[in-house]
Amino acid sequence: MEQRVIETLKILTESDKEACDLVKVSENEPVRGSGKRLFIESYGCQMNFSDSEIVASVMREAGFTTTSTEQDADLIFLNTCAIRDNAEQKVRNRLQHLNALKKKKPGMLIGVLGCMAERLKAKFLEEEKMVDIVTGPDAYRDLPRLVEEAETGQKGVNVFLSREETYADISPIRLNSNGITAFISIMRGCDNMCSFCVVPYTRGRERSRDPFSIVQEARDLFANGYREVTLLGQNVDSYKWTAPAGAESTLAAPVTFAQLLEKVALVSPDLRVRFSTSHPKDITDEVLYTMKKYDNICKYIHLPAQSGNSRVLQLMNRTYDRPWYLQKIDRIRAILGEDCGISHDMIAGFCTETEAEHQDTLSLMEYARYDYGYMFAYSERPGTPAAKKLVDDVPEAVKKRRLQEIIALQQKLSLERNQRAVGRVHKVLVESTSKRSDDDLQGRNDQNKVVVFPRENFQKGQYVHVLVTECTAATLIGKAVELEAVS
């Protein structure tokens, strides 16, 4: 297979808030080609940030180089999230600001990409007059044509959802700043149809990318200095690739997620492998035993629960109940041990949720002993089964109070879980300088916990053994040690 060149491009973080409130923007790179500048602002989940890397690559081929300031841009893309209403409102507020800029720079084009674009389609052009291009997650190859169309004064729209598109042949321009960690998208779409979720409607049906291009991308990244990859999908455990009809017999065997995980782990023992997200109904013992077999597969699982009550889970169409979920927690602990990191998603105040059912969520959290979580009050999304069939009847004040109780409990659990790490030595992959001090470095351990320690002579990309001496609910703090010196 032809060796592909991995280019690096920094990204700036504007705010470190909840997962779906993150905003990341492209940084300056040297002007080349036509001299046209592209500004990309990405909202939401890791899949969106990964998609922005694909967009940057597509537009690079069309002659655009990126900038970190919208004032310098000829073309602005907002890659949007639609999972909650406030994520969409943030985009609309941002467009109002950009409209003022566009009036001063009439030749500037503005495009809205991603899930919000897919949800609203051409209607978005009617609601937001300053927008020139609307493109869904499966139509990024068409962006150069849509830009050319918009340059003539026409509006460009492509919200076609594909059953085949995986962008497997596009080498992403890496938008993470540290040059150490990278995302690899292994599948797109979702077939789960949770009643509260817009993803199946904004990202389409599940389709898995071929394993050969995934492994090659991991090899290329490792050869270019990257030391950690995260395999991404809406539900990675449902990954299953089957060769197209007529393929050579040696390539025809189906590949499951556990098998793909092993293939990537075998790229190098010095390449850490993570993955996200897992669906409780699909994660198998085979995956857990593969994680156990390879030291470089991180012992951390993001396992969204959404609720701790079986009736609410049924209304959510999660396809499992409370006992099933707890059994999955038990299997993780039995196979990977008590130290395996587990995180969650949890929704407070879903339709008809009672106080007793909310207490079931809190008790499930206590049982699972989560390391951290992503916690939200329920936000009804237009077009979802919940919006069509259920009544959003939990008062906002009750939702907020329940959410605060979930957050408070998780902070307590996070502190307790982090306290288990004190007095132990952890293998840390250095990712960057600490946010609080240039004298310290920070990285993550096997369980995805942030570890901060004195810089000394260590560099980004190194593995350092750190003795953790103290902690907060969010961070482990320690000092580098010689492993041999610790009994």
Smallest CA-to-CA distance from 296 within 262, 315, 267, 273 is with 273
Which residues, listed in sequence order, are joined to residue 183 by a DSSP beta bridge?
230
Give Cα 302 to chain centroid, integer Å: 11
Q: Which pLDDT tens digit goes with each residue over 171-225? A: 888 765 588 999 999 999 999 999 999 999 999 999 999 999 999 999 999 999 9
DSSP for residue 368: H
pLDDT at 86: 83
Tell me if residue 197 falls in helix, strand or coil.
coil
Tokens 């030391």, residue located: 227
Topology of domain 11-158, per CATH?
Rossmann fold (3.40.50)
Tokens matching residue 292: 């156990």
Helix ranges, 227-321 (H): 257-265, 285-293, 310-315
Q: Are 11-158 and 425-485 the same fold in CATH?
A: no
Listed by start position, the domains of the chain span: 11-158, 181-416, 425-485
User: Would you give per-residue pLDDT tens digits along the chain (487 residues)?
Assistant: 333 333 333 333 333 333 344 566 665 565 665 689 999 999 888 888 899 999 999 999 999 998 888 999 999 999 998 888 888 999 999 999 999 999 999 899 999 999 999 999 988 898 998 999 999 999 999 999 999 999 999 999 999 888 888 898 888 887 655 889 999 999 999 999 999 999 999 999 999 999 999 999 999 999 999 999 999 999 999 999 998 776 665 566 899 999 999 999 999 999 999 999 999 999 999 999 999 999 999 999 999 999 999 999 999 999 999 999 999 999 999 999 999 999 999 999 999 999 999 999 999 999 999 999 999 999 999 999 999 999 999 999 999 999 999 999 999 999 999 999 999 999 999 999 998 899 999 999 999 999 999 999 999 999 999 999 999 999 999 999 987 543 3
pLDDT at 485: 41
Tokens 């609309």, residue located: 92
Tell which phi-psi region holds residue 61, choosing left (phi > 0), alpha (psi between -120 and 50) or beta: alpha
Asked whether 23 and 43 are in contact (CB, 8 A), the reply is: yes
Other Cβ atoms within 10 Å of 225 Cβ, number: 12
Asked whether 358 and 348 are in contact (CB, 8 A), the reply is: yes
Element (H, E) at 183: strand 181-185
Tokens matching residue 254: 């189906």
Which residues, listed in sequence order, are joined to residue 41 by a DSSP beta bridge?
25, 78
pLDDT at 8: 36
pLDDT at 271: 98
Calculate the alpha carbon distances from 191 to 69, 132, 198, 334, 346 in Å. 38, 31, 11, 29, 20
Q: Annotated binding site for [4Fe-4S] cluster: which residue ranges?
A: 45, 81, 115, 190, 194, 197
Domain 181-416 has CATH 3.90.79.10: no
Tell me if residue 484 falls in helix, strand or coil.
helix
The class that CATH gives domain 425-485 is: mainly beta
Residue 373 amino acid letter: G
Q: Look up the pTM and report it.
A: 0.86
Residues whose CB is less than 8 angstroms from the CB of residue 75 and which lie 6 or more positions away in sequence, other chains included: 36, 37, 38, 39, 59, 64, 108, 109, 111, 147
Residues whose CB is less than 8 angstroms from the CB of residue 246 and which lie 6 or more positions away in sequence, other chains included: none
Q: Annotated binding site: which residue ranges?
A: 45, 81, 115, 190, 194, 197
pLDDT at 45: 83
pLDDT at 253: 81
Asked whether 20 and 84 are in contact (CB, 8 A), the reply is: yes
Q: Which pLDDT tens digit goes with each residue over 127-184? A: 998 999 999 999 999 999 999 999 999 999 999 888 888 898 888 887 655 889 999 9
Asked whether 33 and 201 are in contact (CB, 8 A), the reply is: no
